[in-house]
């Protein structure tokens, strides 16, 4: 019973955030995102963003939720196909061995390095993994932080909604197929406007390992 209630609370929060003001929902930053050339794990460099839509996946080395998130997001990437470019973003503070481990977990998704955690701070990332969808005008449309409940499928549904493939009602149904959140008071998650700390300075528990 507690698991059902917990699932309902998570879904209520997710659904509530769809129409919550940006000041209280998970907040992407205003304005365009820079598109620098970044180092790719395994060698070479590439532009951070595509000319179309880009899904940036902020991950952390040695973290079970990042490993699980990359696995389920790989399936979402395959389902969406070439409409969205996927890029995993890793702090350059991790060792080359840790970088290679993340690259192996990412599979077909390229892993790039975030020098000095600048992109992490620019996009207000609060925990790992988080998906940030960037549109062709280089605006961040949403942040989708990790949860153990359908992380990849929910990210895919939000992306399809942003692409115009799902309307609002279809998105709500995708995020709550059994109506678990119906009748619940949907309290949107609070987010601090303060600059988030560096990935190396946050404990794994605080970064969402137990979320």
Read off the pLDDT of residues 17-35 as tens digits, 9 standing for 90 and up.
443 333 334 688 889 999 9
Residue 131 located in a structural domain: yes
Which of 126, 109, 108 has its CA nearest to residue 117? 126
Read off the pLDDT of residues 37-94 as tens digits, 9 standing for 90 and up.
999 999 999 999 999 999 999 999 999 999 999 999 999 999 999 999 999 999 999 9
pLDDT of 112 above 90 = yes
Residue 126 located in a structural domain: yes
pLDDT of 185 above 90 = no
**Domain span at 150:** 26-166+196-209
Residue 33 located in a structural domain: yes
Residue 191 located in a structural domain: no
Sign of CA dihedral 17, 29, 90, 155: positive
What is the CATH number for 114?
A: 3.40.30.10
The arithmetic mean of pLDDT across residues 113-137, rounded, is 95
Residue 119 located in a structural domain: yes
Residue 3 located in a structural domain: no
pLDDT of residue 180: 63
Q: Cα–Cα distance between 120 and 114 in angstroms, integer?
A: 7
* This prediction's pTM: 0.75
Specify the number of domains making up the chain: 1
Residue 6 located in a structural domain: no
pLDDT of residue 29: 85
pLDDT of residue 181: 57
Q: Give exposure, 74-99, as e/b (b: 16+ Cβ within 10 Å).
A: bebbeebeeebbbbbbbbeebeeebb
Residue 153 located in a structural domain: yes
């Amino acid at each position: 019973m507690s698991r059902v209630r917990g699932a309902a609370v998570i879904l209520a929060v997710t659904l509530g955030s769809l129409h919550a003001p940006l000041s209280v929902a998970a907040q992407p930053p205003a304005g365009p995102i820079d598109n620098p050339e970044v180092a790719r794990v395994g060698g070479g460099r590439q532009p951070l963003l595509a000319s179309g839509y880009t899904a940036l996946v902020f991950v952390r080395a040695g973290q079970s939720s990042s490993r699980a998130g990359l696995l389920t997001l790989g399936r979402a990437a395959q389902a969406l196909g070439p409409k969205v470019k996927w890029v995993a973003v890793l702090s350059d503070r991790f060792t080359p061995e840790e970088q290679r481990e993340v690259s192996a977990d990412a599979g077909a998704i390229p892993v790039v390095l975030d020098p000095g955690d600048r992109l992490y701070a620019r996009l207000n990332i609060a925990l790992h993994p988080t998906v940030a969808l960037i549109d062709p005008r280089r605006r961040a449309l949403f942040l989708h932080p990790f949860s153990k409940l359908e992380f990849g499928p929910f990210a895919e549904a939000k992306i399809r909604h942003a692409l115009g493939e799902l309307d609002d009602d279809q998105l709500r149904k995708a995020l709550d197929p059994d109506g678990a959140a119906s009748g619940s008071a949907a309290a949107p998650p609070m987010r601090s406007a303060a600059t988030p700390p560096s990935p190396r300075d946050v404990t794994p528990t605080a970064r969402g390992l137990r979320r």
